[in-house]
Amino acid sequence: MAERNRKENIVLFPFMAQGHIIPFLALALHIEQKKKYTITLVNTPLNIKKLRSSLPPNSSIRLLEIPFSSSDYGLPPNTENTDALPYHLVIHLIQASTSLKTSFKKLIENLIEQGDSPLCIIADIFFGWTASVAKDLNLFHAIFSGASGYGLACYYSIWMNLPHRNDVDSDEFYLPDFAEASRIHVTQLATSMREADGTDAWSIFHRKKNLLEWVNSDGILFNTVEEFDFVGLSYFKRKLGKPAWPIGPVLLSYKSQARVGKEGGTSSELCIEWLNTKPLNSVLYVSFGSMNTISASQMMQLAMGLETSGKNFIWVVRPPIGFDINSEFKANKWLPQGFEERIKGSRKGLLVHNWAPQVEILSHKSVSTFLSHCGWNSVLESLSHGVPIIGWAMAAEQFFNVKLLEEEMGVCVEVARGKSCEVRHEDIVQKIELVMNETQKGKEMRRKACHVMEMIKNAMKDEVGLIGSSVKALDDFFSAAMSMREKTKKEENPTA
Ligand code: UDP
């Protein structure tokens, strides 16, 4: 059986951004471990090089290069990842990525010729156009979303309908085909979305090249859990008439995460030693994900809020917006006078520069609450450990994740919104106390977060007689891919 499984080839094709490549790598490792299939990860040469050094030594994941020359598209030379680009050029890389269609098709045709025809192609939410390539070649195709069902449903609906453009007199609006999301405020829209009017580059990309193509796919895999994200999943089922398979949480192990992560200022041993000295459920962990930071004035207020709250905290700091995010952090410039010395002296706070061992921190029993930008990986990592969230979304669908977590799941309170909003340290203190103190709301949130942790554990159960919803969804996905292949074979060769 294992030998037969080995022959199945699964092609994975993430968009060229760390926030997309990382969940795909987690998916690749998950499928490899669960199914023992051959996994082929496709990307442009520089990303493949980086991926090569990120793979665990014992992994048999195959890496295949697809040619790409950024300077052909007016981008700086050797730019193959959004990491290397200022925000306003990200859309240019996205547009340029649509030109990969011909070479991607060729690459798949070569695999077929070599007798290594993929059982399925799993592509990024930005690569809707790969669905027609798969269709042309009679291959099973799925989109893989590292975002929540709910977050992606809002994202999809807003791009396809631009509802905030219909009533320019109001700052609030409803989604015409996703009423479940109730009211949305324009401050919950990322800049590209808020400014979109149907003629801009983002709208044209999503409406003509990407989202529109999703109906050609055979379904969507979600890094989520059915039990708490069914509303968003049902949006796609009815909208596209295709299955949505919730197979999560698929997360990188701490070791794999360290391999793909950035340089950290504080080792994981130091963080854990520091946490070991703190009482149970007494620490607030603060981080804005892998690529975001806040403005200088927000940073000042956050520091004042943390100090005034009197709580223990670990804060992943980066230079504020407007400075090179990878440059040295200047505490004397960006934090209140004497802040760093005081928190060191009192041992109340630990500043971690640039990158922290997040999963290790969240799994420590001293951690009580996570102040997070609510990127979906951070959310899953937090809830997998029963840690409630104070939400401060920065970009993309994170605002909708906060909505889901606060309004539907009751495991989050929002403290601020976006990179430029005004935030007062008094409000930060109030939210920290609400969640971390023995308030009615705080207790309720912790109870609900623990309940979600149980849902997550159950979804991933894979025991005889006890198969969790996420394990079943992955099995269903591969069964669907195999049925399609059998059907295609019969159609091509009816007498066989
Ligand atoms: N991460 C980490 N250390 C950090 C910041 C981020 O390990 O200091 C990891 C985090 O555990 C998560 C990922 O980076 O797995 C961030 O993904 P998420 O979807 O939360 O946000 P994004 O970075 O895509 O905005």
| 252-296: pLDDT as tens digits | 877 777 767 665 556 889 999 999 999 999 999 999 998 899 999
Distance 337 CA to ligand 1 centre (A): 29
Fold of 9-252+466-492: Rossmann fold (3.40.50)
Residue with tokens 């990188």: 252
**What is the percent of the chain where pLDDT is above 90?**
87
Please, are residues 26 and 252 in contact by the beta-carbon 8 Å criterion?
A: yes
Task: Identify which of 136, 139, 128 has the alpha carbon closest to the alpha carbon of residue 40.
Answer: 139
How is 417-432 classified by DSSP, letter by letter? ESSS----HHHHHHHH
Q: What is the CATH number that goes with domain 264-456?
A: 3.40.50.2000
Candidate of 126, 378, 387, 397 to mutate for ligand 1, largest count of ligand atoms within 8 Å of Cβ: 378
State whether the beta carbon of 291 lies less than 6 angstroms from ligand 1: yes
Q: 249 preceded by cis ω (within 30°)? A: yes
Centre a 10 Å sphere on the Cβ of residue 483 and count the other Cβ atoms it contains.
11
In the reported structure, the alpha carbon of residue 378 is separated from the centroid of ligand 1 by a whole-number distance in angstroms of 6
Closest C-alpha to ligand 1, atom 11: 358
Residue 151 beta carbon below 6 angstroms from any ligand 1 atom: no
Question: Which of these, 206, 29, 32, lies nearest to 127 by C-alpha position?
Answer: 206
SS3 letters across 281-298:
CCEEEEECCCCCCCCHHH
Whole-prediction pTM value?
0.95
Query: Which of 290, 318, 355 to mutate to test ligand 1, by most ligand atoms within 8 A of the CB atom?
Result: 290
Extents of the domains making up the chain: 9-252+466-492, 264-456
**Could you read off the pLDDT of 102-128 as tens digits, one per residue?**
999 999 999 999 999 999 999 999 999
Distance 377 CA to ligand 1 centre (A): 6
pLDDT band at 3 (very low <50, low <70, confident <90, very high): very low
143-175 per-position pLDDT tens digit: 999 999 999 999 999 999 999 998 778 999 999
List, as one string, the DSSP characters of 347-402.
T-EEEEES---HHHHHTSTTEEEEEE---HHHHHHHHHTT--EEEEE-STTHHHHH
Cα(340) to centroid(ligand 1), Å = 24
Same fold, 9-252+466-492 and 264-456: yes
Per-residue pLDDT at 263: 55
